[in-house]
Amino acid sequence: MVSNEISGGSFGANVQAGTIHGGVHVHHQPSAPVVPRQLPIVSAHFTNRVAEIQLLDEELARRRDGAPALVLLSGPGGAGKTALASYWGSRASESFPDGQLYADLGGFRAEQPVAPGQVLEGFLRALGVMPEQVPVDLAEQVALFRSLTAELRLLVLLDNVISAAQVTLLLPGSADGMVLVISRWRLGGVLAQGGGLVEVAALSQDHAVELLTRSAGRVRGDVEGQQVRELARLCGRLPIALCVAGARLASRPRWPVGRVVRELADEQRRLTALSVDGEVSVMSVFDVSYEGLSGQQARAYRWLALQPGPDFGIEAAAAAMELSIQETSEVLETLVDASVLEDSEIDRYRFHDLIRLHARRRAETEDSERERDAVLARVTEYYLSVAVTADRVVMPLEWHVGPVYERDSDAATVYATSLEALDSLESELPNLMAVLRAAAQRRLDQLVWQLCEAMWSLFLYRKHFQDWIAAYRLGIEAAGRCGDQAAASRMRHRLGIAFHNLSRPEEALWEGRAALTAARAAGHELAESAALQLMGMALRNLGRFDEAIEALRQAVELDRRTGQVRSEALAQRVLGQTLYAAGQTVQAVDELERACELAAGLSDPPVEAMSRVCLAEALTRADRASEALALARAAWDVMEGSGSHQYKARVMMAWGEAAEGIGDLTTARDRLLRAHTFFTEAGVPDLRPVQHALSRVEACLETQRPENDEGQATR
């Protein structure tokens, strides 16, 4: 009996026979090799990234010019790098007729990355090499791969790459091929080989809404559009977060979008809520990136995220991490390369919102409360130093409370002008307010009220009223907890000035009285005078002129007795303004001339200029408009570069009314229009005085205009 069986695998033609005599010829057509198309399937919810796709198209065109096409797609975990590469690769498939190879190198897994030999074995087999013909030696695998691909037009997609060394061994041999490298790290070694860089960040708001609408259901997007936009914002416009949120809604068709919005609005729950069935989780994606950081990098990641503001510079980061500027710069650049930190501009950095939450959660887990508070204290002290330095340049003769002002300062070497100092301080306002609120929450009270004190010139000149009021309310609470009456008086006075600027005299008077009580309890005469001046202004605006004049005369006498010339000049000026408002023009001129004399000896140009403005206003009413005009012009020479729209508006209005007084109506209208613009830019709520002045001048100009041509022709 003859056994005639085939065991194992059989490919192609087979001959089964008992005994064969003579020649046997078997002819068969060899099967055509399969063109590899290994790219991951593109998600049905993929939302077009126009700018990134255009960059990839440009790199493809560069390849056709003969240059090597090596492109690094870098960005944070969950940004959709693989989806983008797969979408683009499928879209450009005609440019790669010999196939598309894909390998996940596993660079961000807990276990070891995939070995290059394992990847090459898969590539060689995909290109038709039989298993028994795949070399065992890595160098031979590389050589064979490059030989086989020398004439091929291939796209090679290398995902989750952690080092340039992984890439080098996997480059095809043809200049007509293209390699897309996907990594959370900005791999300098890949770029050094001539690779292009395409950064993949969060989506635009519109594209984020589009992705969310696709995954959650377009009906929801149409009906609950505003809530969908808010949900996109809470997801940080990050594709993985958007897909998770969309999947949750898709699995709960009866849920309104607002339910998920409410869940994500709680920062403590946001990352936990962004998961689906325990399989897809934003938290786990960020955990992978975190585990790839060194000890120093991980600590920097956690501590930098404890900074309350939207962004930060190198100096603030150095304060948080207790490192030198050079060491800090190196760590920051490493975190940027790891795509866990963004460089928003030169030497400025920020976290993606969700990544910041992840870093803070890690800090809560790995760092003690004492360590976290110490980071916040160092950051607050840094911003306090920044604010004090700028404030000293803007208002060098202003008196202050707080030990920080007793230290030496190199402010003059930091800022060339007061305008530069103001601009710099204003650029940090979001950070200053965020730090202030965080420090108040953690009861860093001494730092809180001192930071408020240091922000005074910024609020006085730039009129950020909402922040101004919020800051000094925190300052009042902090000073109260410290039991510091002088600081409490100062905080009350600053808050009252905000209310005065906003034409809220009742509230200004309340704060003035509270400031006076605290100043007298502290025995602080400068604070007492400031409180009396605030009360005088508030009483004046309430029409209680006699009480206002009495309070201001007390302030003048107090300053004169204690030898506080600058404070006396300010009190004298407010007294003159109050007499002017009360209709006592002659007495107002006398007091304002005295204020100008005192201010002239102070070497404080803004104080002197504003004293001149107030005197000019009174002189115009006293029919001395020519003198008023000269004073207004002199004041403009100083205040033009002050950086304060309100001060410039005051000068322009005084100039315009003086010009009106001498009959120069064209100049008057021009200056009053400029005053109106400056007042508007300063956010002054009551524009009626300048509007009335403009209407008056316009009416006079109208009466002076010649009759129209038709009227002249009929005469």
Q: Residue ranges of the domains in the chain?
A: 50-199, 205-285, 292-367, 371-462
pLDDT at residue 520 above 70?
A: yes
Query: Percent of the chain beyond pLDDT 70?
Result: 91
To which residue do tokens 């006396």 refer?
568
CA distance 500 to 511: 10
Question: What pLDDT digit, counting tens, does each position of 278-336 carry?
Answer: 667 899 999 989 999 999 999 999 999 999 999 999 999 999 999 999 999 999 999 99
3 state SS of 191 = helix
CA distances from 592 to 2, 190, 539, 544, 574 (A): 129, 71, 19, 20, 9
Burial (CB count <10 Å: 0-12, 13-18, 19+), residue 616: buried
pTM of the model: 0.84
**Rounded Cα distance, 448 and 488, in Å:** 12
Q: Which among 303, 479, 453, 471 has a CA at the least distance from the CA of 374? A: 303
* pLDDT band at residue 208 using 50, 70 and 90 as cut-offs: very high
What's the whole-number average pLDDT of the chain?
90
CATH code 3.40.50.300 for 50-199: yes
Q: Specify the residue for token string 């594709």.
A: 239
Q: Is the separation of the CB atoms in 168 and 192 below 8 Å? A: no
How is 114-128 classified by DSSP, letter by letter?
PPHHHHHHHHHHHTT
Strongest mean pLDDT among 95-109, 534-548, 688-702: 534-548
Who contacts 234 (Cβ-Cβ below 8 Å, separation ≥6)?
261, 264, 265, 270
Question: Over the stretch 30-49, which tens digit does the pLDDT of each residue have?
Answer: 455 689 999 999 877 788 78
Average pLDDT (525-544) is: 98
The C-alpha angle with vertex 64 and arms to 59 and 69, in degrees rounded to 5, equals: 45
The answer to whether the beta carbons of residues 534 and 515 sit under 8 Å apart is yes
Residues in Cβ contact with 283 at an 8 Å cutoff, skipping those fewer than 6 apart: 271, 272, 274, 275, 358
In angstroms, what CA-CA distances link 638 with 29, 329, 424, 610? 95, 40, 20, 9
Predicted local distance difference test score (pLDDT) of residue 349: 96
Nearest alpha-carbon partner for 613 in 641, 637, 583, 582: 637
Residue 68 above 60 pLDDT? no
- 702, with CB counted inside 10 A (0-12, 13-18, 19+), is exposed
Looking at residue 12, what is its pLDDT?
A: 43
- Residue 366 or 6, more confident: 366
What's the mean pLDDT in 180-201?
Answer: 93
pLDDT at 203: 94
Domain spanning 292-367: CATH 1.10.10.10:
yes
CB 405 within 8 Å of CB 397: no
CA-CA distance, 3 to 691, in Å (whole number)?
113
pLDDT in the model for residue 31: 53
Q: Sheet containing 312-313: give its strands across.
A: 312-313, 348-350, 342-345
pLDDT number for residue 560: 96
Instruction: Please compute the mean of the pLDDT values over residues 160-189 and round it to a whole number.
Output: 92
**pLDDT at residue number 700:** 92
> How much is the pLDDT for 48?
75
Strand pairing class (155-159; 100-104): parallel
User: What DSSP line would sit under 3-53, residue for residue?
Assistant: -----S---S-----S---S------PPPPPPPPB-PPPPPTT----HHHH
